[in-house]
Chains A and B, each alone.
Chain A
């Protein structure tokens, strides 16, 4: 294979990586936002309900945002371009996590044991790395296996070609700590083999801790406390087992940390895989769900620009993410049928949709 075609293959693999990272965020966000929060039970005194699982999912989610940003940095460093303004590039649900079609089916569902088990499956480490190396990365069966394969290809390319041939992207397009802060760790520029491998390792370690020999810790400190954080696979298992892991705990043995209080019943009964089209018979709900989709679409378009030479635009995306959260939390409170199921965020990319007046 020529240098160009090898580099092109890596670019398309990194585009897949961005899609995989993006695919995880709406389901995680949706589950988190269906958790009933403060003030649900007690008429007078606010009560913290499920604050702990909400926080655990939130931590994972914002690390996925960092992973997506790092994957975009790698793609841009390779001289590729990030595409987030085309419907074909944006996941719609239900969908498969990986290009191979393997791995769990990813859906938009309320917080439940089943859904957290799916999340844990998303973050599961591959059983056998050897099977994948130098193979077809698109056939990987786990995220970790996919990145392991991409990593090998990147190293092979760097062994045979000059760094400036491989990393031919414009360094000004890199998203660094000056554009990205306060969420799941620090973004850094990818300009050479070392920084590209560091980015891939961070994505994999935070996901599964796979390269760390089954240890729960991911090698990064939790901001503020300085204690070592645990990988996503373990975080979701913490919720299922109602107990926190310590960084030195291992895969296969139970967590040894403090209790983690989970109330599986304090959850808004959101209908599975909500889509605006399914609520056309309820015009008010329909309009509100379309408004959410429009907000999400605008957010993705802003990300598209940020990853295509205008990294400073990430700043504008911050208030939109917060709006998305508040709107999603509002949607899951609206009952839509006699069974008491509620509406929810559809996370549908609708680039040509224009704003209707909110019916009031």
Chain B
């Protein structure tokens, strides 16, 4: 199996905080190694280490005071000119299976990266996007829900 060079625990903790899905759900996509490798390729070792630290600290703080932990994550990561764009692309990656390239300001600060291109990372990444679960639908053209399923209310919908 392809393994990310990145430390999965801390980056998974960060992903849990950013997506609102638990670890088991993120593993269940089958995309953890692929996504963390993509993140590592674009972030580079220094920024990746800062993201790991942010994930670790959030995981340690979230139990005692979730609101404070989330506030701290916004301040440390999402508004940071280097970490913010990476975190936002990571959110989109989990939800859509698609990498969104860094904005020009980020590239000016950190240089351009070979793998920082807009693309769906694999056919599995498309199928396993969290967005489908969030909206109670299935990825178009994949994971067909079966004949006649259109007669049933969407998952999570009360008729």
Residues on A lying within 8 angstroms of B by beta carbon are: 37-44, 46, 182, 282, 284-285, 287-288, 315-316, 318-319, 321-323, 326, 329-331, 333-335, 343, 358-360
Contacts of A284 in B (CB 8 A): 22-25
A46 to B34, CA, bound (A): 12
Check if B49 is an interface residue, CB within 8 A of chain A.
no
Partner of B147, one of A39, A46, A318: A318
Partner of B122, one of A43, A287, A322, A330: A43
Contacts of B37 in A (CB 8 A): 43
Which of B23, B122, B144 neighbours the largest number of chain A CB atoms within 10 Å of its CB?
A: B122
Contact A360 B27, beta carbon cutoff 8 Å: no
Contacts of A335 in B (CB 8 A): 27
Can you list 19 contacts pairing A with B, beta carbon distance less than 8 Å? A40-B1, A42-B122, A43-B38, A46-B123, A282-B24, A285-B24, A287-B24, A316-B152, A318-B146, A318-B148, A319-B146, A319-B149, A322-B146, A326-B143, A331-B28, A333-B27, A334-B28, A358-B25, A360-B21
Check if B71 is an interface residue, CB within 8 A of chain A.
no
Name the interface residues of B17-40: CB closer than 8 Å to any CB of A: 20-25, 27-30, 34, 37-38
Check if B145 is an interface residue, CB within 8 A of chain A.
yes
Number of B residues near A (Cβ < 8 Å) is: 28
Q: A284-B22, A322-B146 are in contact. Are A333 and B29 (CB under 8 A)?
A: yes
Contact A333 B22, beta carbon cutoff 8 Å: no
A333 to B32, CA, bound (A): 10
* Given A333-B30, A360-B21, 10 new contacts (CB under 8 A): A37-B124, A39-B124, A40-B1, A46-B124, A284-B25, A288-B24, A288-B25, A322-B149, A331-B28, A334-B28
Contact B122 A319, beta carbon cutoff 8 Å: no
Contact B22 A330, beta carbon cutoff 8 Å: no
Contacts of B27 in A (CB 8 A): 333-335
Task: Specify the chain A residue showing the minimal Cβ separation from B120.
Answer: A44
- Can you list, as one digit per residue, whether each of B70-83 has a CB less than 8 Å from chain A (1) or not (0)? 00000000000000
Report the minimal beta-carbon distance from A8 to chain B, rounded to whole angstroms.
Answer: 37
Contact A39 B123, beta carbon cutoff 8 Å: yes
Check if B121 is an interface residue, CB within 8 A of chain A.
yes
Residues on B lying within 8 angstroms of A by beta carbon are: 1-2, 20-25, 27-30, 34, 37-38, 121-125, 143-149, 152
A263 to B22, CA, bound (A): 31
Contacts of A323 in B (CB 8 A): 145
A46 to B128, CA, bound (A): 14
Q: Which 10 A-B pairs have the closest CB atoms?
A: A330-B28, A284-B24, A39-B124, A319-B149, A319-B146, A46-B123, A39-B122, A334-B27, A333-B30, A318-B146
Task: Specify the chain B residue showing the minimal Cβ separation from A325.
Answer: B143
A318 to B152, CA, bound (A): 12
Contact A46 B122, beta carbon cutoff 8 Å: yes
A42 to B24, CA, bound (A): 23
Q: A334-B24, A360-B20 are in contact. Are A322 and B148 (CB under 8 A)?
A: no
A326 to B1, CA, bound (A): 20
Report the minimal beta-carbon distance from B127 to chain A, rounded to whole angstroms.
Answer: 8
Report the minimal beta-carbon distance from B129 to chain A, rounded to whole angstroms.
Answer: 13
Report the minimal beta-carbon distance from A76 to chain B, rounded to whole angstroms.
Answer: 23
A322 to B149, CA, bound (A): 10
Task: Specify the chain A residue showing the minimal Cβ separation from B138.
Answer: A326
A343 to B27, CA, bound (A): 11
Partner of B148, one of A42, A315, A343, A360: A315
Contacts of A42 in B (CB 8 A): 122
Contact A38 B123, beta carbon cutoff 8 Å: yes
